[in-house]
Structure 1
Amino acid sequence: MSALDAVRARHSWSKVTEAAPTREELLTLVAAAGRVADHSSLRPWRLIELRGDDRLALGKAIAKAQGDKEPSSKPMRAPLLIAVVASFRKSDKVPRWEQEAVASGVAHTLSLLLDEAGWGVLWRTGEYTRSKSVAKAHGLKKDEELLGWLYVGGKPAGKKPGRRRSVDARAQLTKMPAKAKKKKTK
C-alpha cells in the first residue's frame, strides 16, 4: 500500500476490541513515526504507553481533574493508550509552537502507521489533558504538555469506522494573494 493509499484509507475507530499491538510492534512504528520533520532535530516529544492498570490510574486522575468521585471509564475504552507529550527543548531557533507541531506530527504519523498495520486508532483529547492530576499521573516534567492519547485496539469484525466528510481540496488550497497595486498619484 502506498502512503497516499494509507492516508486515504485512514479512519478513526471509536470502538475497538481488546487486541493490541505488542511493545515490539509498537517500537517499530514509533521509530518510523519519529522521522517527521523536526527543525534542529530536537525531538521535542515523547510517548507514554498505558496498558492494564495504567488505564485505571489515568481514570482516577481524570476523575480528580473533573471533581468526580468515581474513576473515569474513558481510559478503559481501548486496551492500549499512547499518551502524546510535547517535551519542549530550549532553542533560540525553534519556537515552542513549532516543537508542539512536531509532537503532533509524530502522533498523527503513528496513528497512520497503526491504522495501516490493521489497528483501530482514535486520538482523544479533553480539557483535563492540562490538569495537574493528569500531568502528575503521567510523570510530566516542567517543560512538558500532554496533547492527548491515541486509543489503540483491534478493528471489530463487521463494524465500520467513524464517518469523515471528504475534503474539498480546492477550497483548502489557495494561492498567495496578488500584491496590491500601488495607487498612482497625480
Structure 2
Amino acid sequence: MREHAKVAKVDADGLLLDGGDRIAADAVAWTAGFTVPDLAREAGLAVDQRGRMLVDGTLRSQSHPDVYGIGDAAAAHTQDGQVLRMGCGPGGLAAACAFHAITARLSGRTPKPLRVKGDALCISLGRHDGILQPTDLDGRPRGTVRTGRPVALLKNAVLRAAGWYNLRYPAIVVAGARQG
C-alpha cells in the first residue's frame, strides 16, 4: 500500500506513479476521498478545517444548540475526543446517538454522549468474497484481516439491515441502538 502517491497512468498491467515507479497488478481499485457539502459553513454553523460541523458528544452543534449534525457532515467524536472517520458505520452510530439525545432532551432527561470503542472496514468483493479489517477509530488498520465468503455474507447482512430492515422496522432499530 502506498498512501498519498500520485498515479500517472493505469493500464492492463498495473499502474505508473507520477514519480516513475511502476506497480504491477492484475486489478486496481481506484478510490476517492470524502468531501463535505458547504451547507453547514454557508448556514453559519461552526465547522472544522474539512467543513464538518463541530458537534458535542450528543451530536448537537457547538455554535447552534438547536441543530444536530450526523453522518459525514459532522465531526462526531468519542468521549476522549477522538474524531470518528467518515463512513457508513460511524455515521449510523452517530445517527442513533443524535436520535436518543433529541428524544432525551425533549423529555427533560440528560442525554448520554456517543460511545464508540472500535471500528472496522468491511468490503464486499462480490457474493463469494470480502475483506474485514478491524481499525482504530481514525481508520488506521489493526488486528487480523478476515477474508472469504463469511465476510461477504456479513457485509450482505449489514447492507440488508441498513436498507430494507431499518426502513421497514424503525422502532426495532432505534431500540437496538439504545444508549447504555
TM range (shorter): under 0.3
TM-score, normalisation: structure 1? 0.21
TM-score, normalisation: structure 2? 0.21
